[in-house]
Structure 1
Amino acid sequence: MTDADGGTDTAVAEPTAAEPDPAAAGAAPRGGWLRSTPALALLLVLGVLLGAGGLWLATTLRTPGEHSAEAGFARDMDNHHAQAIEMSLIAFRETGDDEVRSFAVDMAMAQLTETGMMQAWLREWGVSPTSTDPPMSWMPPAERHLTADGQMPGMASDADLTRLRAATGRELDVLFLQLMIRHHLGGVHMLDGVLERTDDAEVARAAGTMRGVQDAEVKNLTRLLTRLGGTPLPAH
């Protein structure tokens, strides 16, 4: 480079100090611990364990057990429905009244569907489908409302079923409607019982729906019974 006098400037600019190389200096790069294979493996294992533990805890908290109100209700209502289906099929085969026949078959099909749902619950919960416990033992003794012969609320006795099988004509229709009204009212009591006790969302939803159906059917049964000149039976 030539200066103002025409001479050559021999001064050389001082070199700028290079930034230190982290790798050369032995310093760990930013985030290096998280990039290491053992650390990632540890985090993955911890995540899996925490996730599995949370799932196990949530499942344990929400799944009804062997002696829960939900399991007791499902078993008892399964048997309760079985008798309603039996009486409905008798009426369907023997009645000469088209409206009674239509109601009987509709109710039998609906209760068969509900029975399948409750049996599926018991399988899903991993509990026994049957129990040696007395009927309604999932409710306090004062609230069980058992029949005189120790059956669930509203259940027809063996003598009632014998009379129904032997009846014909209007006698059959009236007796069927009387027994079914009482049977449904007993079922409503059971539904109210599980609704008061369950914290299982699916059970609560289904029981609420079933209760609405039972209420509507009691109204229709009572209307049919009135048309035939009958009156409801007293409660057990």
Structure 2
Amino acid sequence: MEERRNARWPSRLLIGGSLTAVAVAVAVVVALLWPAGADTTAMPSQDSVDAGFARDMSIHHQQAVELSFIVRDRTGDEDVRRLAYDVINTQANQRGMLLGWLDAWDLPKSSQEPPMSWMDHGMGGMAGMKDMDYKPHDGSLMPGMATNTQMDQLRRAGGKQAEILYLQLLTAHHKGGIAMSRAAAEMAETEQVRRLAQGMADSQTAEMQLMADMLRQRGAKA
């Protein structure tokens, strides 16, 4: 058993290193291309919706990738592992794009402002965000994010239990991400951010429908 567990580490490190390299490459390309194709005088400011969304969603995506890496090693179910791989690849690449934009805008990747403060710039994008007074707690910085306790539960789970918990946590994660993405699609200043945010909302909505079916097959609900 110990040898089997240790045997997973090289592949995990290889895949993790590859995704990091991809994200860095995406960030570099975006940083190089944005100024060439954009009006630099119209670039987002430090307190803009665009910058706030890029910062917050990069954090949000990072946890979805982590959840997916965990479940990949906790189940042999091909459907769940396939979903996990899709989330890892898609959200790692999108995260690289978001961080690359911040580099292109010459803006910091972190802020002293509370998470989602950029959503106060307009109320239209708040549709679907039921918990208006959300307070970060136990590692959950934004609506939908798993807590440290829930992450530990997933790490300890296995088989069908891990599959159900992952699908439930990722469904909640997508729900929060969709609300944020729709807000950015509605309020962001730049077309590039609006387009990416809308694409995130559309793809994660489809994944939520898929996960609802997968949960039903396992006798569980979101």
TM-score by length of 2: 0.75
Offset, 1:147:
5.3
Q: Which runs of 5+ in 2 are unaligned?
A: 1-35
Name the structure 2 match of 1:75: 55
Which structure has more RCO (C-alpha within 8 Å, separation ≥ 6)?
A: 2
Give the ranges of 4+ consecutive aligned residues of structure 1 lying more than 4 Å apart after TM superposition: 141-144
Looking at structure 2, the residues matched to 209 and 194 of structure 1 have their Cα atoms a distance apart, in angstroms, of: 11
Looking at structure 2, the residues matched to 119 and 218 of structure 1 have their Cα atoms a distance apart, in angstroms, of: 25
Q: Which residue type is aligned with residue 194 of structure 1?
A: A
Q: Which residue type is aligned with residue 117 of structure 1?
A: M
Q: Which residue type is aligned with residue 160 of structure 1?
A: Q
Decide whether the 8 Å contact of 2:55 with 2:110 is kept in 1.
Answer: yes
User: Percent of counterpart pairs with the same letter?
Assistant: 38
Which residue, out of 58, 68, 71, partners 1:91?
71
**How do 1:217-228 and structure 2 match up within 5 A?**
217-228=207-218
Q: CA RMSD in A?
A: 2.0
Which residue, out of 154, 170, 178, partners 2:168?
178
Q: How many residues align?
A: 176
Name the structure 2 match of 1:25: none
Looking at structure 2, the residues matched to 198 and 82 of structure 1 have their Cα atoms a distance apart, in angstroms, of: 21
Decide whether the 8 Å contact of 1:147 with 1:154 is kept in 2.
Answer: no
Deviations 1:167-219 (A, max 9, x none): 11111110000000000010000001111211311111111111111111111
Offset, 1:148:
6.1
Which residue, out of 3, 23, 40, partners 1:59?
40
Q: Which residue type is aligned with residue 114 of structure 1?
A: Q
Offset, 1:66:
0.8
Decide whether the 8 Å contact of 2:44 with 2:189 is kept in 1.
Answer: no
Decide whether the 8 Å contact of 2:71 with 2:81 is kept in 1.
Answer: yes
Looking at structure 2, the residues matched to 127 and 63 of structure 1 have their Cα atoms a distance apart, in angstroms, of: 10
Name the structure 1 match of 2:7: none
Which is further off, 185-194 or 146-155?
Answer: 146-155
Offset, 1:119:
0.6
Name the structure 1 match of 2:92: 112
Name the structure 2 match of 1:23: none
Looking at structure 1, the residues matched to 120 and 163 of structure 2 have their Cα atoms a distance apart, in angstroms, of: 35
Deviations 1:121-166 (A, max 9, x none): 0011110011121111111298474356262110001111111111
Bigger helix share:
2
SS class of match (2:146): coil
Name the structure 2 match of 1:127: 107
TM-score by length of 1: 0.70
Looking at structure 1, the residues matched to 151 and 75 of structure 2 have their Cα atoms a distance apart, in angstroms, of: 15
Which residue, out of 83, 94, 102, partners 1:103?
83
Decide whether the 8 Å contact of 1:88 with 1:107 is kept in 2.
Answer: yes
Deviations 1:4-39 (A, max 9, x none): xxxxxxxxxxxxxxxxxxxxxxxxxxxxxxxxxxxx
Q: Look at both structures and tell me which one has the larger radius of gyration over its CA atoms.
A: 1
Which is further off, 181-190 or 207-216?
Answer: 207-216
Over 3 Å counting, the alpha-carbon distance change for 1:218 and 1:77 in structure 2 is same
The question of 1:192 aligning with 2:182 is answered yes
Decide whether the 8 Å contact of 1:78 with 1:118 is kept in 2.
Answer: yes
